[in-house]
A and B are shown apart, each in its own frame.
Chain A
Amino acid sequence: MIIKRVLVTAFVSLWSIFVLMPLLWALVTSFKSPAAVENGATYIPFLEFQPELTGWSNIFGGGGATTNLIPPLMNSIVVTLCAALISLALGTITSYGLSRYLYKAGFIKNQDIIFFFISQRIMPPIVLSFPFFLMLKALGLLDTRSGLVLVSIAGLMPIVVWLMVDFFNGIPKELDEMAMLEGYSPFEVFGRVILPLAAPGLTVAGMFAVIFGWNDFFYPLILTFGQVVTLPVAIVSLNATITPYWTLSAAAIFAILPLIAFAFAIERFLSKGSLSGAVR
């Protein structure tokens, strides 16, 4: 028993080091001066090196730098939030339908439709890049936020459907029936009975949608050219040969800060609500 705990603790500690070290490294480096970076591995500010804000001011166009990550940040926030919210709304309704009603079109049934959604995630993005490019071009949406939102929804909705179908399946169908017998139409049942119960699932699905949307790199890379560059694309385009390490580090940390803030904001919703008691 004790041995097991020791092993588990050791493993978790080791794992944490692997995960946290690069972050710590980037964080420390982002506050270093050119001289401090060249001096080798030092980690403790004020003791081992004198922290500076050069890297941080560089990414906001300070100190004569050409880089400013604020517009990409705004692009990322707008595109991610819009895409995540729309995916969540559409995906939730879709999932509820797939969970409660039977669809049949020839040999295509509910399971096939669900698999169709998931297959969008299984497929490598490159497969769809060309069609997406042509479609956005035809619509005049290349290099626009709306275009990116559209493409992003195609990637995020499968995640929502995948999570929510399972979640809705866990809510007894009898609850829907009962509410209907009590005089509530199907849409009222969905909105007033089922959605409140699905809040924990919605939170998880929303979280995944935001994380995946935020980190999406490939489509923004090929579908935008400069007008609506998103944060991941902007960071990659910081050429490592001319951009100093401290600036790159600051940019990397900057890119994950919104996600961390988001995670803290929704944390309390994750455990809220419970289905226990619906059925004995």
Chain B
Amino acid sequence: MLDIQGVSASFNGEVFLKDITLQAEPGHIYVLLGRTGAGKSSLMRAVGGLLPLDAGTIHFAGEDITQKPVWKRDAALVYQQFINYPNKTVRANVEFPLRKLKLSRVELNLRVDTYLKKVGLFDFANRRPSQLSGGQQQRVALARSLARQSKILMLDEPLMNLDFKLREQLREEFLDLVSVGSQAVTFYATTEITEAMMLGYQVVVMHEGSILQIGSPSEVFESPRNTLVAQIVNDPPMTLIQARVTEGNFVLGSDLTIPLPVHLRNLGDGEYTFGIRANDLVPAVDSAASESCSIQFVEVSGSETVLYVTSPSGEMVVQLEGIHDFSAGGKIELEISAERLFAFDHLGDLLIAPGIGVK
């Protein structure tokens, strides 16, 4: 087990990690989810020994590795940029880390062949990395990291620099490669919630060097600990609105009053922050629970339309199935699905989540 206790790191006054505590079991994938600069890479670098720590300890399999030099740690890292040895062939790239393992020549060749075949680059063994496409280069990096069969495997946004289609394809491929039969503690950093949902045994939500929440993908998605987590695990981000609860009613602004839905019934009177997912805001057909909004910005991606709107109670993000003919400057009546509301207290901590209900 990898046991990270109270790890902090900073350089020149800039804080990279704040009191990180995390336990990770071999054979599982831990997804580090957070925006750029959340400390995902720093945490990996700390585990690898590349980032000097200000405080805290790291134990692996009972051994204190906090002060162990990088080259003795047996941790593999796949970078976001496609880092390979440019002067070596693909085969030599995969072979290089294995030379340190004191394998026999036959074993070594066999291992290289196996992993080159696994990533589908056996026929490219004699090429140089620069003669390969981006996706292939990243496969070389992955093969090099896997072939060593390190006890700790870390992938730092490995698909970030690839185009959308390739990313989707490689995501599944990588998942198979890193998880099937793996006995390594695996970390996978990403900014994308979809990736986290698909890969993660545990999702570690990070923000500005701290861990906000650790839990299974559904846990962090269905009950985000606070508004920040809710924003990070929802793409497009969750809409947050300030509203009142008065005598069993949900009161938004001055004109919208609806009875509290069942799951919020225990909320006492007062001011709360309510969160609603972008796909739980729908154009109103004929409902009292609607807000009149003006459209600021329209984004069509794939088969979805995302609207950024301004309502009397603040900015909202709406995600609609299909492609719609909305344009910026237009008006839209939005219905708030009250039964899908998240309630947060004034500090932003989650009070009540709607639960995994049928939408």
Whether A and B are associated in the same complex: the answer reads yes
The interface residues of chain B lying within 8 Å CB-to-CB of A178 are 77, 79, 83
In the assembled complex, the CB of B45 is this many whole angstroms from the nearest CB of chain A, namely 8
In the assembled complex, the CB of B335 is this many whole angstroms from the nearest CB of chain A, namely 46
Do A172 and B70 touch across chains, with their CB atoms under 8 A apart? no
Q: How far is the CA of A278 from the CA of B48 in the complex (A)?
A: 21
Q: Which of A172, A181, A273, A279 has the most CB of B within 10 A?
A: A181
Given A182-B76, A182-B96, the answer on whether A277 and B129 have CB atoms closer than 8 Å is: yes
Given A181-B73, A184-B71, A280-B134, the answer on whether A275 and B48 have CB atoms closer than 8 Å is: no
Do A278 and B97 touch across chains, with their CB atoms under 8 A apart? no
Q: How far is the CA of A81 from the CA of B80 in the complex (A)?
A: 44
Do B97 and A182 touch across chains, with their CB atoms under 8 A apart? yes
Do A197 and B86 touch across chains, with their CB atoms under 8 A apart? yes
Q: How far is the CA of A179 from the CA of B96 in the complex (A)?
A: 9
The interface residues of chain A lying within 8 Å CB-to-CB of B130 are 274, 276-277
Query: Which residues A177-201 have CB closer than 8 A to chain B?
Result: 177-186, 188, 193, 196-197
Given A276-B86, A276-B130, the answer on whether A177 and B50 have CB atoms closer than 8 Å is: yes
Do A183 and B76 touch across chains, with their CB atoms under 8 A apart? no
Q: How far is the CA of A183 from the CA of B151 in the complex (A)?
A: 13
In the assembled complex, the CB of A216 is this many whole angstroms from the nearest CB of chain B, namely 34
Q: How far is the CA of A188 from the CA of B97 in the complex (A)?
A: 12
Query: Which residues B89-147 have CB closer than 8 A to chain A?
Result: 96-97, 100-101, 128-131, 134, 137, 144
Query: Which residues A245-280 have CB closer than 8 A to chain B?
Result: 273-280
Q: How far is the CA of A253 from the CA of B102 in the complex (A)?
A: 56
B23 within 8 A of A: no
Given A183-B100, A280-B161, the answer on whether A172 and B71 have CB atoms closer than 8 Å is: no
Q: How far is the CA of A179 from the CA of B87 in the complex (A)?
A: 14
Which of A177, A186, A193 is close to B85, meaning CB atoms less than 8 Å apart? A193
B18 within 8 A of A: no
A38 within 8 A of B: no
In the assembled complex, the CB of A110 is this many whole angstroms from the nearest CB of chain B, namely 14
Identify the closest chain A residue to B96 (Cβ): A182
Query: Which residues B9-25 have CB closer than 8 A to chain A?
Result: none
Do B70 and A180 touch across chains, with their CB atoms under 8 A apart? yes
| Residues 65-83 of chain B, each 1 if its beta carbon lies under 8 Å from chain A, else 0 | 0000111111111010111
Given A172-B83, A174-B81, the answer on whether A183 and B97 have CB atoms closer than 8 Å is: yes
Do A278 and B71 touch across chains, with their CB atoms under 8 A apart? no
Q: How far is the CA of A275 from the CA of B74 in the complex (A)?
A: 27
The interface residues of chain B lying within 8 Å CB-to-CB of A186 are 71
A113 within 8 A of B: no
A20 within 8 A of B: no
Given A180-B71, A181-B71, A185-B71, the answer on whether A279 and B83 have CB atoms closer than 8 Å is: yes
The interface residues of chain B lying within 8 Å CB-to-CB of A193 are 85
Please list 16 pairs of residues, one from A and one from B, whose beta carbons are closer than 8 Å in the complex, sorted by A's number: A178-B79, A180-B50, A181-B50, A181-B75, A182-B76, A182-B96, A182-B144, A183-B74, A183-B100, A184-B100, A277-B84, A277-B128, A277-B131, A277-B137, A278-B85, A278-B86
- Interface residues of chain B, those whose CB is within 8 Å of chain A, are 48, 50, 69-77, 79, 81-87, 96-97, 100-101, 128-131, 134, 137, 144, 148, 161
- Interface residues of chain A, those whose CB is within 8 Å of chain B, are 172, 174-175, 177-186, 188, 193, 196-197, 273-280
